[in-house]
A and B are shown apart, each in its own frame.
Chain A
Amino acid sequence: MRWGMAIELKRCIGCNACVLACKAEHFVPPQMFWNRVLIGEKGKYPQVTKLIYSVRCNHCAEPKCVKVCPTGATQQREDGIVWVDDEKCVGCRYCMVACPYQMRQMYEEEDAQYFPGQELTEHEKIGKLLYPHTPGVVQKCVFCKERIDSGIAQGLTPGVDRDATPACVIVCPTKAIHFGDLDDPNSEINRVIKEKHAHAFHPEFDTQPSISYID
């Protein structure tokens, strides 16, 4: 089993719902981003192409971050998910430096608020109960492992059943993101990857991402 995503660029409109769904799902603190939408342009007027890429940790098969982590805090699960154990991270930032996709951030500002200087909202408060964040450790996309795990425990299939599928995938209004098991030759995601010629983003970084893109 190896979870992966395939993102159809033609579909994606850069709405950033994936970013906010992740923020809501994990109560991601202010100025922290587990995923982002990168916007750019290619070409010269008037032959211009707008570029929109929804990016997050690629859960690389050959993750640099895991290799460089001296503590073993950053680890890779059998299903390919790369995650950080809050209890083990010392904050040496080597993983942040080493990720060629720059998909890691250090959570430092413990007191950061979405409405600075005002009372914490009820939403912020419940976040501290449901998904507390440890300051001083590195964060990143966890491929919604909690959803996947509890989903599987309930007999659901990630990528098929909403409750077992990452938040950013199910929120996408254009259905640009496919999710599923890359090791299962019959999975929907493998069909899409094959039929639509998905390719890794910057394969030259040599990390074998589990996320691929379709032009």
Chain B
Amino acid sequence: MVTKAKDKPAKDKPVRGMSVKGNPEIWDDTWVKSTCGGCYGTCTIRAHRVNGVIIKIEGEPDNDFGSRGGLCAKGEAMIQALYDPNRFNYPMRRTNPKKGLFEDPQWKRISWDEALDEIAGHLKRIRAENPNKLLHGGTPSAGSGPDLPLGFGVFGAVFGTKNWYVGGAGLHCGSGSHMGAGLYHASWSIVPDFKYCNYVIQMGSNKGTGSGHSMGFNMRLSADARSRGMKNVVFDPICNFGGGKATEWVPILPGTDAIIALAMTNIILNELNVYDAEFIKMKTNGPYLIGPNERYIRDKETNKPLIWDPVDNKAKTFNDPTIKDFAILGEYTVNGVKAVPSFQLVKDHVKKYSPEYAEKESTVPAATVRRIAKEWADAAMIGATIEIEGEKLPLRPVASVMFRGGQGHTNSAMSYCAMCLLNAIVGAMDVPGGTLGWPAYVEGHPDTGRYKVIPYPCRDGMLTAGTFMEHKPWPVEESKVPDTVLMKELVPTASFSPHPVTSDFQKYWDNLGRPYEIEMAMIFGANMVRSTQNREIAEDFFKRIPFIVSFNILPNEFCEGFADIMLPDCHPLETYCLFSSHGPFFNYPIGMEGWDFPIRQPVVKPAYERRNKVEALWDLADRIGMREEMNNYYNVYFSSFGGEALISGDIASVRDVKQIDPSKITVLIKPEEKITYQEMMDRAFKFYFGEDKGLDYISKAGTIHWPKKAKEAYWRWYVDVRIPIYMEHIAELRDGIIENAKKPGMELEWEQFTPLISYFPAQVAREETKEFDLYSFSYRDILHNGTYTMEIPWLDEVSQLNPYTYNITMNAETAKKKGLKDGDLICLESSYGRKTTGTLKTMQGQHPKTIAISACSGGWAKGAPIAYGKGTNFNILLESDAKHACPVCWSQETATMVKVYKIDHRIEYDGVGGKKL
């Protein structure tokens, strides 16, 4: 690898593919293939190391796991993140006993042994008492995103705690999106099939243009699509990333996407009378008969849902082989009660969503809604087919997608499902040109058939993901009186919860009799006080935790304010990682893009005493006698991709979900073995892809690549599964939830627990007054990932060249009316008296009733001097309690009404002991 060429003149050996001046002495000139850690896209990269230093990162041109040779700026900037002199190099102990947002930790260097012994001591005691006293979690965002559940989460899962708190928490990624994508696509999220799609509707996401999953290949694919002439309508309050590249930008008021989607559905179903009847009959629960109690009418014997066969004129179970046709319209009498196919109910239900009503709520002109609905229905080409690799497949070149923005409100679940409904009625789901989930169907490597994931139907015929790492909420569990501080058990459709970082958490916990207290937190990455909703509420919670351990590479606001022990993790460029690319997650190529299993490996050795976090966790496991259990867990985990569909233990009993057959578990790691991380990777690769494809092979090859079959890319019609356009399970859950909420005393918006996808005004809209007249919201900038990258000087420089990144934006006309102008220092104040400040930049491309801040800026950590004071922290404005959470999926309300006025200084820095701003 390292080529010593000291004796040779450099002239004879130019540094290939790098600009060099003069004749520097070169003794190492090496390219290493790996994956990027800039965001959870984990693009494949090749890093150029010269004389032991990484000098350049390029995208890997030879596979589909990224932009095929390109990178985004964050990816290039990882060099500076790696070499940041502010990084943690040694384990550190807090010597300042006080904890709080602006406290100085007064770090003191300690040894790894001292750190691990102390942590292990706490863990041992807690595990014996009640493992739930450990809160664990971390960042889903930075380059280790996919590494969170597998690399880090496993420890907590084996330890036995259910308190799993993810960075960003309630305003994490997309509680509604994950719920909806899980239900409808057995995936974490969705994306248009850019290759064949002709018409994309985007609601509050910047897929391929600014943020979102799989940014790497989405940037490439969406650019191809634009250049090919794909139409792209973007509903967004701001015309920046998605809107800026759209063929049509439609300004919308935050929180009103559902009514647009429902009005369009109404026009398509009831005015244009267009729908993909075959899809509805075969692929949805549209034909399932619903009784007056909102529930499926079930066969008395088998308990299976019934449908109506109009040919035989009788009710049959949904998978009766004698079915000749499915009735999706009409009204029937079954078992003596009125029975209506759910599609008929949905069709009737959406009638109330007229475009005019939608206009009133969203400000989108009724005529625009009508026109787009018509264009979209036309573009869907219902009935069309396409031949791909010899397979004749339905062609539905339309897709509607949503992510964090559209569903970041108290109507989150409904908004996302309403958007999915649009795709469902035209059959544009996991077929060419339509909306795709991230790969849910993998037949495995051709040599081994391993690394296999196949979705399957549950007992009611509903789509069930083929791996336990796929997203909840399907299959849903029963509601329980909460026993975790997340309180998620109460509402099993929720994927992430804002609790316990809410202002009403303590009240509920009191009402539950305070089952236990969180005595320790173990956090990987994540900036729990800057990226979560409201730093003061977060402070109140984290201050009470007596012992906090944080694994990070860089100081952040959370570490400084609250961590007792800091463990210096490796940067992705200096360590191995298996889980960051162990999919098929939402970093996996979609459509006909090939399969890849790329490697993350060190380009340079970890400097100082930095250590790979997983190995550090294993050391802890050794110390508390948990290594055997972890080894077993990995065995189950890897085996599940050996072709055995399975779901993790505790929900396996629900709705006939497949469980792993213990006899089929391959023992990759013997329980008592203490192997290295590399050894585990080597075994996993060999198990999946063959003896010749171990770590050595993949280290050089960079990825295991094999072509995708059309059947895998567009699996929908190959698997006998249905999706719920009528959410019977929500009706089923409702009474239980209401009952179980009594004990904690939680009041949720019960009306939202309806099986019919509906529009409910978001909490933000209810708070609009004459005084608090502007909707404030945040969005991601392509230059930054969470709070992490704000510390990178190159990105800081280009951020200053960008008019919006560090500024608060507002419609130019609105600003004028308020007597504000570019460059004014302004204060945003919410009706809860929460305030944040920053510099104004007006723009034309913004809804006049809104004011916006680019995501997670406004840093105050002293250990991160580049990020200090840059931009504005939006989250300070947010209120967090049950009222500001979507009752169905528990997304936090991410918009708030504010008033805006000029101010003379940055008040949110008043308490900070550093530089006053």
Given A43-B844, A115-B84, A146-B20, check contact A123 B220 (CB 8 Å).
no
Nearest A residue to B52 by beta-carbon distance?
A122
**In the complex, A97 has a CB within 8 A of chain B:** no
Given A20-B77, A119-B85, check contact A175 B223 (CB 8 Å).
yes
| Closest Cβ–Cβ distance, residue A88 to chain B (whole Å) | 15
**In the complex, A104 has a CB within 8 A of chain B:** no
Nearest B residue to A150 by beta-carbon distance?
B14
Measured CA separation A37–B794 after assembly (Å): 14
**In the complex, B369 has a CB within 8 A of chain A:** no
Residues 80-94 of chain B, each 1 if its beta carbon lies under 8 Å from chain A, else 0: 101111100000000
Contacts of B508 in A (CB 8 A): none
Contacts of A25 in B (CB 8 A): 18-19, 56
Contacts of A127 in B (CB 8 A): 55
Contacts of B220 in A (CB 8 A): 173-175
**In the complex, B219 has a CB within 8 A of chain A:** yes
Query: Which of B68-76, B139-147, B304-312 makes up part of the contact surface?
Result: B68-76
CB within 8 Å of A: which B231-252 residues: 239-241, 243-245, 249-251
How many residues of B sit at the interface, in one of the four size bands?
A: 35 or more
B15 pairs with A130, CB closer than 8 A: yes
Contacts of A36 in B (CB 8 A): 801
Measured CA separation A162–B31 after assembly (Å): 14
**In the complex, A131 has a CB within 8 A of chain B:** yes
Nearest B residue to A146 by beta-carbon distance?
B19
CB within 8 Å of B: which A29-87 residues: 30-31, 33, 36-37, 39-41, 43-46, 48, 50, 52
B813 pairs with A16, CB closer than 8 A: no
Given A13-B210, A131-B19, A171-B59, check contact A48 B76 (CB 8 Å).
no
Given A19-B798, A48-B845, A173-B219, check contact A115 B79 (CB 8 Å).
no
**In the complex, B209 has a CB within 8 A of chain A:** yes
B67 pairs with A13, CB closer than 8 A: no
Contacts of B6 in A (CB 8 A): none
**In the complex, A26 has a CB within 8 A of chain B:** yes
**In the complex, B390 has a CB within 8 A of chain A:** no
Given A20-B798, A176-B223, check contact A162 B61 (CB 8 Å).
yes
Given A13-B241, A126-B55, check contact A154 B16 (CB 8 Å).
yes
B216 pairs with A170, CB closer than 8 A: no
Measured CA separation A37–B70 after assembly (Å): 17
Residues 2-16 of chain A, each 1 if its beta carbon lies under 8 Å from chain B, else 0: 000000101101111
**In the complex, B24 has a CB within 8 A of chain A:** yes
| Closest Cβ–Cβ distance, residue B325 to chain A (whole Å) | 46
Contacts of A115 in B (CB 8 A): 84-86, 793, 865-866
**In the complex, B846 has a CB within 8 A of chain A:** yes
Output the residue of A8, A114, A172, A173 with the most chain B CB within 10 A: A173
Measured CA separation A17–B783 after assembly (Å): 9
CB within 8 Å of B: which A99-130 residues: 114-115, 118-119, 121-127, 129-130
Measured CA separation A114–B50 after assembly (Å): 20
Measured CA separation A13–B216 after assembly (Å): 12
Nearest A residue to B245 by beta-carbon distance?
A13
Residues 15-35 of chain B, each 1 if its beta carbon lies under 8 Å from chain A, else 0: 111111110110000000000
Contacts of A26 in B (CB 8 A): 19
**In the complex, A24 has a CB within 8 A of chain B:** yes
| Closest Cβ–Cβ distance, residue B25 to chain A (whole Å) | 8
CB within 8 Å of A: which B846-905 residues: 846, 848, 865-866
Measured CA separation A16–B73 after assembly (Å): 5
B58 pairs with A11, CB closer than 8 A: no
**In the complex, B160 has a CB within 8 A of chain A:** no
Nearest A residue to B796 by beta-carbon distance?
A114
Measured CA separation A25–B801 after assembly (Å): 20
**In the complex, A23 has a CB within 8 A of chain B:** yes
Measured CA separation A52–B845 after assembly (Å): 14
Given A11-B227, A50-B239, check contact A24 B71 (CB 8 Å).
no
B782's contact among A15, A123, A147, A170, by CB below 8 Å, is which? A15
Interface SS of chain A: mixed
**In the complex, B54 has a CB within 8 A of chain A:** yes
Measured CA separation A174–B72 after assembly (Å): 9
**In the complex, A21 has a CB within 8 A of chain B:** yes
A17 pairs with B20, CB closer than 8 A: no
B844 pairs with A41, CB closer than 8 A: yes
Nearest B residue to A164 by beta-carbon distance?
B17
**In the complex, A188 has a CB within 8 A of chain B:** no
A24 pairs with B83, CB closer than 8 A: no
Output the residue of B17, B240, B797 with the most chain A CB within 10 A: B17
Measured CA separation A150–B13 after assembly (Å): 10
A130's contact among B24, B240, B249, B803, by CB below 8 Å, is which? B24
| Closest Cβ–Cβ distance, residue B191 to chain A (whole Å) | 16
A173's contact among B59, B82, B251, by CB below 8 Å, is which? B59
A13 pairs with B209, CB closer than 8 A: yes
B798 pairs with A39, CB closer than 8 A: no
**In the complex, A135 has a CB within 8 A of chain B:** no
A-B contacts, CB under 8 A, total: 205
B18 pairs with A173, CB closer than 8 A: no
Contacts of B79 in A (CB 8 A): 24, 123
Measured CA separation A115–B244 after assembly (Å): 33
A17's contact among B61, B72, B244, by CB below 8 Å, is which? B72
Nearest B residue to A23 by beta-carbon distance?
B794
**In the complex, B337 has a CB within 8 A of chain A:** no
B226's contact among A10, A119, A125, by CB below 8 Å, is which? A10
Contacts of B14 in A (CB 8 A): 150, 153-154
Contacts of A44 in B (CB 8 A): 844
B73 pairs with A19, CB closer than 8 A: yes
**In the complex, B843 has a CB within 8 A of chain A:** yes
| Closest Cβ–Cβ distance, residue A192 to chain B (whole Å) | 11
Output the residue of A21, A23, A123, A171 with the most chain B CB within 10 A: A171
**In the complex, A144 has a CB within 8 A of chain B:** yes
**In the complex, B811 has a CB within 8 A of chain A:** yes
Measured CA separation A45–B86 after assembly (Å): 43
**In the complex, B51 has a CB within 8 A of chain A:** yes
Residues 767-809 of chain B, each 1 if its beta carbon lies under 8 Å from chain A, else 0: 0000000000000001100000000011101100111100000
Contacts of B86 in A (CB 8 A): 115, 118
A10 pairs with B69, CB closer than 8 A: no
Measured CA separation A23–B82 after assembly (Å): 16
Output the residue of B53, B56, B61 with the most chain A CB within 10 A: B53
Contacts of A130 in B (CB 8 A): 15, 18, 20-21, 24, 50, 55
**In the complex, B57 has a CB within 8 A of chain A:** yes
Given A20-B73, A174-B219, check contact A123 B55 (CB 8 Å).
yes
Residues 552-589 of chain B, each 1 if its beta carbon lies under 8 Å from chain A, else 0: 00000000000000000000000000000000000000
B845's contact among A24, A50, A167, by CB below 8 Å, is which? A50
B70 pairs with A170, CB closer than 8 A: yes
| Closest Cβ–Cβ distance, residue B597 to chain A (whole Å) | 21
Contacts of B85 in A (CB 8 A): 115, 118-119, 121
- Known contacts A16-B782, A39-B803, then 7 further A-B pairs from the complex at CB < 8 Å, ordered by chain A residue: A17-B76, A24-B57, A30-B797, A43-B844, A45-B812, A115-B865, A119-B85
Smallest CB-CB A-B distances: 7 pairs: A50-B244, A173-B70, A174-B223, A163-B17, A173-B67, A146-B19, A121-B83
Instruction: Point out residues on B near A: beta carbons under 8 Å.
Output: 14-22, 24-25, 50-59, 61, 67-73, 75-77, 79-80, 82-86, 208-210, 215-216, 219-220, 222-224, 226-227, 239-241, 243-245, 249-251, 782-783, 793-795, 797-798, 801-804, 811-813, 843-846, 848, 865-866
Pull 23 A–B residue pairs with CB atoms less than 8 Å apart, ordered by A: A10-B223, A11-B227, A13-B782, A15-B783, A20-B76, A21-B56, A23-B794, A24-B57, A25-B56, A33-B797, A39-B803, A39-B804, A41-B845, A45-B813, A50-B240, A115-B85, A122-B53, A162-B58, A163-B16, A170-B70, A173-B72, A173-B223, A174-B222
Instruction: Point out residues on A near B: beta carbons under 8 Å.
Output: 8, 10-11, 13-17, 19-21, 23-26, 30-31, 33, 36-37, 39-41, 43-46, 48, 50, 52, 114-115, 118-119, 121-127, 129-132, 144, 146-147, 150-151, 153-154, 162-163, 167, 170-176
